[in-house]
Amino acid sequence: MDDIIQIEGVSKSYKDVLVLDNVNCAFERAKIHGIVGRNGSGKTVLLKTICGFIHPDKGRVVVDGKIIGQDIDFPKNIGAIIEAPGFLPTISAYKSLEYLASLRNVVGKEVIRQAIVTVGLNPDDKKHVGKYSLGMKQRLGLAQAIMENPDILILDEPMNGLDNSGVSEMRDLFLNFKAEGKTIILVSHNSEDIKMLCDTVCEMDRGILSSVNE
Ligand SMILES: Nc1ncnc2c1ncn2[C@@H]1O[C@H](COP(=O)(O)OP(=O)(O)OP(=O)(O)O)[C@@H](O)[C@H]1O
Ligand SMILES: [Mg+2]
């Protein structure tokens, strides 16, 4: 099997609370993998370890053959939307993504504009992002996650605040991503999204991850 992400014996505590408890799992390439579980169970912490934002106390995360925090600080070719995306409030959507793109200098104007169009926003809209609605901010977060054409998308409740048409557009977008051979990890509280999109489903319960047999 071609596993793009391997999580091997990962544990993480905050103070004396065990938030990830010996998590073991592998995510196959070109599939959509769902993670469900109640509030505070450790889903977001797990996603952050995959992105290299936090380091496990024990175990390791391997992305595309590279050990995170050892071979490489952050995985390459990963796009993420984790919790509410933060943007500078007093610039436009285009300027926001242009600024983020400029940090790595990998994508040009047309690619940024296309990412904004893909998520249903207008790249010529001069409105400051601080005045965007919840759903518009969420869409912009997705535009940021996809703009560098990553191989892996890490999506923490990406449908937050989206209207019905937004939800169905994003479902199509995610399925197209998968068809292009990309891998998606999707955390969601919406069983409809999980059922419709995911090839595999795991449940997090007090830091313990187990696979859900459908
Ligand atoms: N930086 C931190 N410092 C201390 N505790 C933390 C920190 N980050 C997360 N936690 C704790 O880890 C546990 C898991 O949090 P996490 O955000 O992963 O939950 P979740 O499964 O994503 O929940 P939700 O469905 O509400 O998003 C919680 O008890 C949380 O308080
Ligand atoms: Mg969370």
Tell me which residues have their CB closer than 6 angstroms to ligand 1: 14, 19, 37, 39-45, 204
Residue nearest to atom 10 of ligand 1 (CA): 14
Taking alpha carbons only, the member of 10, 76, 13 closest to residue 49 is: 10
Residues shown for the chain: 214
- Separation of alpha carbons 128 and 213, rounded Å: 45
The Å distance, Cα 44 to ligand 1 centre, comes to 7
Atom of ligand 1 nearest to the CA of 48: 18
Residue 2's CB is within 10 A of a number of other CB atoms, namely 9
Taking ligand 2, which is a single-atom ion, which protein residues have CB atoms under 5 Å away?
A: 44
Between 91 and 21, where is the model more confident? 21
The Å distance, Cα 125 to ligand 1 centre, comes to 35
Residue nearest to atom 26 of ligand 1 (CA): 39
Summarize pLDDT for 175-212 with one digit per residue, the tens. 999 999 999 999 999 999 999 999 999 999 999 999 99
* 214 confidence band (pLDDT: 50, 70, 90): low
Question: Which ligand has the minimum distance to the alpha carbon of residue 203?
Answer: 1
Largest CA-CA distance found in the chain, in angstroms, rounded:
49
Amino acid letter for position 93: A
pLDDT of amino acid 160: 87
The DSSP element (H or E) to which 67 belongs, if any, is strand 66-67
The answer to whether 199 and 1 have CB atoms below 8 angstroms apart is no
Write the burial class of residue 176 (CB in 10 Å: 0-12 exposed, 13-18 middle, 19+ buried). Answer: exposed
Percent pLDDT > 90 in the chain is 79
Amino acid letter for position 147: M
pLDDT of amino acid 190: 94
Q: Residue 194: which residues within 8 A CB-CB, separation 6 or more?
A: 34, 36, 186, 188, 201
pLDDT of residue 153 exceeding 90, the answer is yes
Amino acid letter for position 98: E
pLDDT of residue 142 exceeding 80, the answer is yes
Atom of ligand 1 nearest to the CA of 43: 21
Residue 28: C-alpha distances to residues 114, 134, 177 (Å): 28, 32, 14
Summarize pLDDT for 67-115 with one digit per residue, the tens. 999 999 989 889 999 876 677 778 898 988 888 887 776 788 999 999 9
Between 102 and 28, where is the model more confident? 28
Summarize pLDDT for 113-125 with one digit per residue, the tens. 999 999 999 999 9
Query: Mean pLDDT over all residues of the chain?
Result: 92
Ligand 1 pocket test target in 41, 49, 83 with most atoms within 8 Å of CB: 41
Can you tell me the mean pLDDT for 146-156? 94
pLDDT of residue 144 exceeding 70, the answer is yes
DSSP state of 128: B
Tokens of 148: 């560098």
- Separation of alpha carbons 72 and 48, rounded Å: 15
The answer to whether 81 and 142 have CB atoms below 8 angstroms apart is yes
Atom of ligand 1 nearest to the CA of 38: 25
Tokens of 205: 């319960």
Tokens of 81: 């939307």
Residue nearest to atom 27 of ligand 1 (CA): 39
